[in-house]
Amino acid sequence: MHHQHPPLNDLNYYLGLDGCIVKSFSRFRIFDAITISTSSIGVIDMLFFHEDNISSLCCPAGPPAVVRSFSYLSFNLCKWCESSSPVCEDRVCTSNCSLNSFCNVTEEICIAIWRKTNDTMTVHTMCHNPSLPLEGVDPGLLLNFTSRECHMVPQPADDGAVMVCGCHGDHECNDRLIFDKGANGFSKLQSKDVIPVVVVSLVPPFLVAIVATAAFYFYRTRRPDKPSPPVRPDWPTKRTPDLYQAFDLPCGGLGPRRDGGGGVTGPGAEMEESNAKLPNNDNISDMTAWQGHLAEPLPIKLEAVVGKGRFAEVWRGCLLDGEKGGVSSYETVAVKVFPAVEYASWRNECSIFSDPKLEHDNVVRFFAAMERGPPGHALRKYWLVLAYHSLGNLQDFLSANILTWEELIAMAGSIARGLAHLHNDTTPSGVPKVPVAHRDLKSSNIVVKSRKECALCDFGLALRLDLSLTADDYANSGQVGTARYMAPEVLESRVNLEDLEAFKQMDVYSMALVLWELASRCEAIGEVKSYEPAFGSKVCEQPCVDSMRDLVLRDRGRPEIPSTWTQHQGMGVFCSTITECWDHDPEARLTAHCVVERLNALQQEEEEGGRQEEEEEEDVRRGTDREIRLPLLQVSVCSS
């Protein structure tokens, strides 16, 4: 018998409930059902969690029960970022962290660790139990953090300055960091900056005066031998590509593409020598420092938006590639432009690409990472410069194209090879590497290099599966990604953080849905319908987690594979591989490496079958020629 529960303070409603089963759900946790047993007295205590909703009360008939009390467990909601760049004004800084999480236990409080090294400030925010030690923080200090506000307290540091604060009670109280004057040394830190500020303030006027004097002198003593180059037009102040860039380069339509790779060549404008002397793309990575950062920005001109995702816009741009014989050459590149609020996503993608062992034919090529705009300003942008592929992402490609069987197997194999490379702990040459879980694999996060090859992209949610990390380090790594492509265990919030293979199994499930989308647009299945994403006929365009949970968990739903698909012998094997990849049991799923082997075998069979057909056709053609020529030859001999 199911009851629609009233407000929790309506105790009268619960009279007469005995042996009830209470299902309690939270936005962040799913608790098992709690069976309420009552004594003959019929008095019970009920325990609920902060912000929980009781979805159902299932009660058999029995003697009356009286709910004596309700209790709530309150969990602190804290900002939780490993590193973020704070924004400061007066003596208050905000963490600039875009992630948050409820603490796992009620004893945990919100912690913020502020560090300043040279001119760089970072903040590490988290939940932490004050009774447990925290590296670099005085243990006794943690127990004194009882305020609702986060007041910074200095800590000894070998390099730079370190301050710590703790708080609880208010949501995300570790987002606002308060530096008390004279109490924690922040004013002392600021005083060290007084001299540089004064110097910076006074030097520009002197430099302007010197430059003006020198310019006036040269103007009076020398006349220009040739007219000055034309002044470049001012760019509009509206939101245009040029708002983001520091260089104005001629690009696009200047000449033919080089090597078919998307670059362009043509007569360049008169440019500074420092801008023209850039290394080839093969050496761009040598220019990078920490996490692919460039000491100086690359000369890139943004041309047009070609895509927009959850965290960033993707622009087509062109990069000055050098100058030969007075002719400037350009390379077309893709530039992901992150706004300031998505710094954490940009930083995470930088950390993934910073590993040179990630490079693979089926992983989008990374050139550089850059920061553009004034620090701390709302217009500050963060760039990733990547290889550009004119065919776009796989979702758009499938919407406009039907695949042959050969193209299907080749594309699917390239996707599986890219994922297998991420998951492997060695490179193809056997060099050890850290495995990576993509965690947001979908057709719109795959670029099409050609009609037979794809590459994985968008690593904003990717996770390095470092064996040195513990389950606590992965505590924030559960329910992420796009709801449509989430594995059952992710939707259920039951990811085994103790086993790093669990993250790979989640990726394999997502890949299975992508392979289904490929198969649905292949002519080998017979009648090919218009493109639709996985579960497209069962959920809305952007389904929420709850909708997918009902479909995938409750109904055990999967995209439909009609019997007509498997009439093609190879497609039967392909569909069998898909179903083994989206198995409800993560342990039963194939690995990405196993999928590669299966698809390689299919491709090899297809190639051998193609060669055999060609040989048979050639034999038939030659036999027909002999049958036609022999009678003519006999006639010729007889007539002679």
336 assigned binding-site residue:
yes
Question: Does residue 440 carry a catalytic annotation?
Answer: yes
* Structure tokens belonging to residue 496: 């085994």
CA distances from 96 to 117, 123, 278, 565 (A): 18, 9, 35, 51
The span from the CA of 152 to the CA of 163, in Å, is 6
Q: Whole-angstrom distance between the N-terminal and C-terminal Cα of the chain?
A: 107
Closest CA to 130 of 144, 142, 148: 142
DSSP class per residue in 61-120:
S-S--EEEEEEEE---EEE-EEEE--EEETTEEE-----EEE-SSTT-EEEEEEEEETTE
Read off φ and ψ for residue 403, nearest 5 degrees.
-95, 145
**Angle 501-519/592-639 helices, nearest 10 degrees?**
40
Q: Which amino acid is at 323?
A: E
Q: Is 495 exposed, middle or buried (0-12, 13-18, 19+ CB in 10 A)?
A: buried
Q: Which helix (H) or strand (E) holds 607?
A: helix 592-639
Catalytic residue, chosen from 52, 440, 458, 583, is 440
Strands (E), 392-527: 436-437, 446-450, 453-456, 463-464
Q: Which residues contact 271 (CB under 8 A, 6 or more apart)?
A: 249, 320, 328
Q: Which two tokens stand for residue 190?
A: 């600021």
How far is Cα 415 from Cα 456, in angstroms, rounded to an integer?
7
Tokens 């040279």, located at residue:
118
Q: CA 269 to CA 276: how far, in whole Å?
A: 10
Binding site: which residues? 336
Binding site for ATP: which residues? 336
Residues with catalytic roles: 440
